[in-house]
Amino acid sequence: MSPGAEMHALVERLYPLCRSITGDGVRRTLEIVGEYVPLRLHEVPTGTQVFDWTVPKEWNISDAWIADAEGKRVVDFAESSLHVVSYSVPVSATMSLTELREHLHTLPDQPSLVPYRTSYYSPDWGFCLSQNALDALPDGDYEVRIDSTLEDGHLTYAEHVVPGEVTDEVIVSCHVCHPSLANDNLAGIAVATFLARELARREPYYTYRFLFVPGTIGSITWLARNAERIGKVKHGLVLACAGDPGSLTYKKSRRGDAEIDRVVQHVLAGREHTVVDFSPYGYDERQFCSPGFNLGVGSLTRTPYAGYPEYHTSADNPDFVTAEALADTLAACRDAFSVLDRNRRYVNLSPYGEPQLGKRGLYGSLGGRSDAGRDTATGGGGRGDGRAQLAMLWVLNLSDGDHTLLDIAQRSGIAFDAVVAAADALYAAGLLAPAPPARE
């Protein structure tokens, strides 16, 4: 089975579970993800202060329905977890349709679809159904039942760490709080899970920390519990809406020119894509990029939130997500982190004039060649390849401790892989040294 098909199978497996910002649905979701990559679970008690927020009560639900006078369930939680407003308080009552309407949510402009609604921080209850289903309900009394609990408990999140050569970290975050929404939630979980597996096989330079957290309150909780080690976080990416048929969209960090911003844009240049500037609305990038942290964290989606008609509706089901789109998102992440892991700064150890490369076996033995500057965008080949020689000259010239290899590739028009190969050769020959870490 291809990675795309495997990720789609994971989406299908997770889809029926009722997730929210707390509760057993999150735990079951993380238990399944833990079959693919080992996870460290964290349980944060209700009432814990996390900056300006407080960890809420834990919500769980076992059943819910609306039944007509004959006892037939006209709205049934067992058919879809979207049918109940997330965090609904317990209800057991009989009421008229007129009274009930105050607690019913539909999408009149999309009459066949069921919306997704929440009531996390204000005690309330409600049901979601299609406008067509509501229009078909006759007047009369209805039995209303929500078997839920809202009690002191815990907020659950999980981490998976892929150790690198250095302890500086890249965080990859996805949210695990939505119920049956395949693209906005589960696709990001699937891509993050398989990306973690691939990075572990690659033995990366950076340490990669994967966060599986409830939206907003989860990332704020993680930041509050890890404030003393935030300095280790050098780059980050939030994954969401990762499996729809649309092209890739990258939302830049608050900084706008963070290294992750430049790397992702460089990688996406060969794909159909869109780049948007940061805004303090969206997914958890806005928490990582809040002014107190201002981390270099961007967001990668396909069609952005609220940008497709299926968003936060029952149409966001596994049929809307494709294996091909999941695989493409995974490949973009893989390529971006491959560049990020190799994007070094060097110092030229022989900066006074051009060092003699021939005596080090780094230059072609024939002089006067006319191909040294040709076809640079395709990268370089062997030692006698003029493109490889030109890459070496660019690396030597711009290795002043300020320019990264990506800077050099973009300025020279030479492929990044060729620039890396040139730097490796020059380093092995004793002509380059790693530059001191750049100031944040």
The architecture CATH gives domain 58-151: 3-Layer(bba) Sandwich (3.50)
CA atoms within 13 A on the CB side of 278: 24
CB-neighbour burial class of residue 274 (10 A; exposed 0-12, middle 13-18, buried 19+): middle
DSSP string, 395-429: HHHHTEEEEEHHHHHHHHT--HHHHHHHHHHHHHT
Q: 3-56+154-342: which CATH number, 1.10.3720.10, 3.40.50.300, 3.40.630.10, 3.40.50.2020?
A: 3.40.630.10
Structure tokens at 113: 């679809």
Would the annotation count 160 as a binding residue? no
Residue among 403, 400, 402, 375 nearest 389 (CA): 375
Q: How confident is the model at residue 224 (pLDDT cuts 50, 70, 90)?
A: very high
Q: Are 249 and 226 in contact (CB under 8 A)?
A: no
Long-range contacts of 65-73 (CB under 8 A, 24+ apart): 65/143, 65/144, 65/145, 66/100, 66/127, 66/142, 66/143, 66/144, 66/145, 67/142, 67/143, 67/145, 68/137, 68/138, 68/140, 68/142, 68/143, 69/140, 69/141, 69/142, 71/143
Mean pLDDT of 281-288: 96
Per-residue pLDDT at 437 exceeds 80 = no
Q: How confident is the model at residue 283 (pLDDT cuts 50, 70, 90)?
A: very high
Distance CA 381, CA 33 (A): 42
Q: Are 161 and 208 in contact (CB under 8 A)?
A: yes
> What pLDDT, in 10s, does the model give residues 18-43?
999 999 999 999 999 999 999 999 99
For residue 138, the one-letter residue type is: P
Q: What is the mean pLDDT of the chain?
A: 94
> What pLDDT, in 10s, does the model give residues 324-373?
999 999 999 999 999 999 999 999 999 999 999 989 988 764 344 444 45
Would the annotation count 178 as a binding residue? yes
Q: Give the model's pLDDT for residue 385.
A: 63
Q: Give the model's pLDDT for residue 364.
A: 61
User: How many other CB atoms are there within 10 angstroms of residue 417's CB atom?
Assistant: 16
Q: How confident is the model at residue 382 (pLDDT cuts 50, 70, 90)?
A: very low
Please give the distance of CA 81 from its chain centroid, rounded to a whole number.
Answer: 23
Per-residue pLDDT at 380 exceeds 50 = no
> What pLDDT, in 10s, does the model give residues 400-421?
999 999 999 999 999 999 999 9
Would the annotation count 184 as a binding residue? yes
Per-residue pLDDT at 377 exceeds 70 = no
Q: How confident is the model at residue 440 (pLDDT cuts 50, 70, 90)?
A: low
Rounded to whole angstroms, what are the CA distances from 401 to 331, 398, 405, 435?
30, 8, 10, 5
> What pLDDT, in 10s, does the model give residues 97-152?
999 999 999 999 999 999 999 999 999 999 999 999 999 999 999 999 999 999 99
The architecture CATH gives domain 345-434: Orthogonal Bundle (1.10)
Q: Give the model's pLDDT for residue 366.
A: 38
Q: How confident is the model at residue 381 (pLDDT cuts 50, 70, 90)?
A: very low
- In the chain, where the domains are located: 3-56+154-342, 58-151, 345-434
Angle in degrees, CA 148, 150, 156, rounded to 5: 105
Q: Give the model's pLDDT for residue 387.
A: 84
Distance CA 219, CA 43 (A): 14
pTM of this prediction?
0.94
Helix axes 405-412, 259-268, angle to 10 degrees: 40
Contacts of 162 (CB under 8 A, 6+ apart): 196, 199, 200, 204, 207, 208, 209, 210
Q: Are 394 and 327 in contact (CB under 8 A)?
A: no
Residues 209/215/221/222 CA torsion (nearest 10 deg): 0
Residues 302/247/107/146 CA torsion (nearest 10 deg): -30
Distance CA 38, CA 21 (A): 21
Q: Give the model's pLDDT for residue 11.
A: 98
Mean pLDDT of 361-389: 53
Q: Give the model's pLDDT for residue 379.
A: 36
Element (H, E) at 191: helix 188-202
Distance CA 400, CA 393 (A): 13
Residue among 301, 392, 307 nearest 354 (CA): 392
Helix axes 188-202, 3-14, angle to 10 degrees: 140
